[in-house]
Amino acid sequence: MEKQMEALLEMLQAVHQEIKDIKEVNKQYFNEIKEIVKDNELIREENKVLKNHINMINNRLEKLENKERRNNMVIQGLNIKTDEHSILKEEMKTFLDNELGVQVTVAYAKRLGSKTCWIKLSNESEK
């Protein structure tokens, strides 16, 4: 009977030690989870800041693109025979000057089709 009691006591001590070990591991996991939650909060905050920054940059880009488009003009109905940008640029400048009586500075010209040309003016006020 005494041997059985000793065996039970040893088993109880072993179980007690296992419980202590499990509690220690559990405590470590809890601390790790706490750190992960803290890191997650920091990442969420950083993500929020970056999203706001991206939105600001997108708005700025949209404004710049709209401003850039204001200098564009499409002319249709002309017989365009060249794809050479410098020649086309001069032809469009001459056309606008002679036919419409408008003095403009053409920064760039591109043929879009046989009768369509896209031109970019040097500044918006010339439009």
How far, in Å, CA of 121 to CA of 93, rounded? 10
Task: Provide the greatest CA pair distance for the chain.
Answer: 123
- In this prediction, residue 54 has a pLDDT band, given cuts at 50, 70 and 90, of very high
Q: What is the pLDDT of residues 60-81, one digit of tens each?
A: 999 999 988 888 889 898 888 8
Instruction: List Cβ neighbours of 102 (8 Å cut-off, separation of 6 or more).
Output: 96, 126
Report the C-alpha dihedral over residues 65, 71, 80, 88, rounded to 10 degrees.
-100
How far, in Å, CA of 106 to CA of 125, rounded? 12
0.85 cut: is pTM over it?
no
99 phi and psi, to 5 degrees? -85, -35
